[in-house]
Amino acid sequence: MSALADKLTEIVGNVFEAAELPQDLGLVRVSDRPDLAQFQCNGAMAAAKIAKKSPRDVAADLIARLEADPQAQSAFSRIEIAGPGFLNFHVHDAYLCAHLKEIAGDETLGVERTGQDKTVILDYGGSNIAKPMHVGHLRSAIIGDTMRRVMAEAGFKTLGDVHMGDWGTHLGILFSDYLRHDEADWIFKLDLSNPDAVQELFDDLSERYPQASATAKADPDLMAEAQATTLKMQRREDPYYAMWKIIRDVSIIGMKANYGLLNVHFDLWKGEADVHDLIPPMVEKMKDQGYAIPDEGALIVPVKRNDDTKEVPPLIMYKRDGGVMYGTTDLATLVERMSLYAPDRIIYVVDQRQHLHFEQVFRAARLAGIVPDDVELIHAGFGTMNGPDGKPFKTRAGGVMRLGDLIEMARDKARQRLEDAHLARDLFEKEREEIAHMIAVAAIKFADLQNQRQSDYIFDLDRLTQFEGKTGPYHLYQAVRIKSLLRKAAREEFVSSDIAPDALTDVDRSLALLLADYPSYFAASLKHYAPHHLCEYAFKLAQEFSSFYGVCHILSEKDATLRGSRLRLCEMTLRTLERILGLCGLDVPERM
């Protein structure tokens, strides 16, 4: 199944083909002049160049063919030439209603299941153990988890992997610091079944790491010591490795709590360390193949190509001290993923600034035959989340904002907004708190998802928690309004019925056309790993519904056919809205 425009494309494309013109020029899309037409096709202009005729002649010929075509007859009520040779279309109301009925009968509301029998791994989250999770990891989690849900909706078998940073120098810095201050014992004595002890370690880590990191960066000797410590950890020597295990377990508890609050889900809780043992055999093989070569005591994989327009440095496999790098673990992770899951595609939802890193890793993986050509490797990068000052988002004190604090702030704002809008007043405290949390999470996630993935955006808590505008709370509120309307209808024992072609007024039709277009927005999101298309659609739908609701009688409608038809439109709007919010990992309250 697909969007209504896709069906029309098929009809028009066939007619182009019959006229010996390229079928793909018959692309029909929703008109950008709804005052003139419902759908349009711009292909006659390009076709005219091929046929060496005037665009209007080609368009007139196509219209004559369409008018004689039985399928086109059943779909189109009007076909016109506009401007230099655009084809403008209107469809029969009965055709529109039949399409909506089909969509309504489909669980996923007509989206094309293009992913069936395909497995995809999505790598997102990417938090680092021992470091507090910060807003930098927020975008990865939000976009990645949404893409996972979108791909599952399209029928893909999806595996979301958190791919923790748990094997790098930041741990050497930390462990050296504990040992230097004689505080390692304290860690070993902690009883991690006790939540207070876990909290104590969290608090200690969040203070210690930034300090230790700054000190080590300023002192080459300390940094050298930290690197030596990292190497010992990577060799699994105690006490470093024992410390690593404790810190890793505790960090995972924290990550699970944070991601849980955001309703972000992972199928795999793996990290860089998990693939350590795969590195030596991988490297040996790459040495034998001649791809990995010694270079001043290090081991590197040159990945540059003759047609590179900018420099692509070699991937470093082993540093001079024998330590492994970020790229090494990413490459070994590919070895593991290929052997355990045989995916058709692997998507990395990681900061755009790591683009070069992924270019290097992907090239090395192709060279060494770790990932065959028919498996797609994609870096779906994203821009920076900035504060209202246009610089990367920080706390008032200038530090890195922690995820937990951010959610807390958003929840405070959400409570305030509910209060100001006189909402959720009569509910018990517990339910009101749940609603405030849903609003907070919707505000944060929607603000992120609605932007083009690659662009930076400004995180403005005041704006994005509002109930008006293109915000998460606005969409929750609209969905809740429809829910309440449908509850009232149920109390009156009003039932919905098929959308009736004879009962369509302009506003009904406009809403119906938009509902019929949902699968095309879904498809755009899927194709470009770009959730903003879904958000754009949700906003349009919510606004269109508001216009509909503003002018149409629904519960007060006396004509039962019209009322039933409108109730069905309400139901479909709610279903579509909830479906999209669900793909964004957002829950909708029953009331507010």
Binding residues (CB under 6 A) for ligand ARG: these are 123, 126, 128, 163, 165, 330, 348, 350
Q: Which is nearer to ligand ARG, 160 or 473 (CB)?
A: 160
Of 136 and 582, CB closest to ligand ARG = 136
The amino acid sitting at 268 is L
Q: Which is nearer to ligand ARG, 53 or 366 (CB)?
A: 366
Which residue is it, tokens 């028919």? 374
* Sequence-ordered strand ranges (E) for 13-96: 29-30, 39-41, 76-82, 86-91
Minimum distance from CB of 328 to ligand ARG (Å)?
A: 11
How far apart, in whole angstroms, are the C-alpha atoms of residue 285 and residue 313?
A: 21
CB of 347 to ligand ARG, least distance (A): 10
Half-sphere exposure of 211 (CA within 13 A, CB side): 9
For ligand ARG, the closer of residues 136 and 239 by Cβ is 136
Q: Measured from the CB of residue 65, what is the shortest distance to ligand ARG in angstroms?
A: 53
Which residue type is seen at 280? P
For ligand ARG, the closer of residues 78 and 256 by Cβ is: 256
**Residue 220 Cβ, how far from ligand ARG at the closest point, in Å?**
24
Q: What is the dihedral of CA 229, 231, 236, 239, to 10 degrees?
A: -10
Residue with tokens 């339910």: 431
Q: Which is nearer to ligand ARG, 349 or 570 (CB)?
A: 349
Nearest residue (CB) to ligand ARG, 127 versus 450? 127
Q: Pseudo-torsion of CA 443, 112, 268, 145, nearest 10°? A: -10
Distances from the Cα of 549 to the Cα of 81, 475, 482, 496, angstroms: 34, 15, 9, 16
- Whether 379 contacts 353, CB under 8 Å: no
Q: In one letter, which amino acid is 236?
A: R
Q: What minimum distance in Å lies between the beta carbon of 135 and ligand ARG?
A: 12
Smallest distance from the beta carbon of 349 to ligand ARG, in angstroms? Answer: 8
Q: Which is nearer to ligand ARG, 60 or 312 (CB)?
A: 312
CA distance 193 to 448: 36
Helix, strand or coil, per DSSP, at residue 165 = strand
Minimum distance, C-beta of residue 13 to ligand ARG, in the bound complex (Å):
41
Question: How many Å apart are CA 218 and CA 169, to the nearest integer?
Answer: 15
DSSP 370: S
Q: Is the dihedral of CA 71, 75, 78, 81 positive or negative?
A: negative
Tell me the closest approach of the beta carbon of residue 329 to ligand ARG, in angstroms: 8
Among residues 100, 146, 154, the alpha carbon closest in space to that of 575 is found at 100
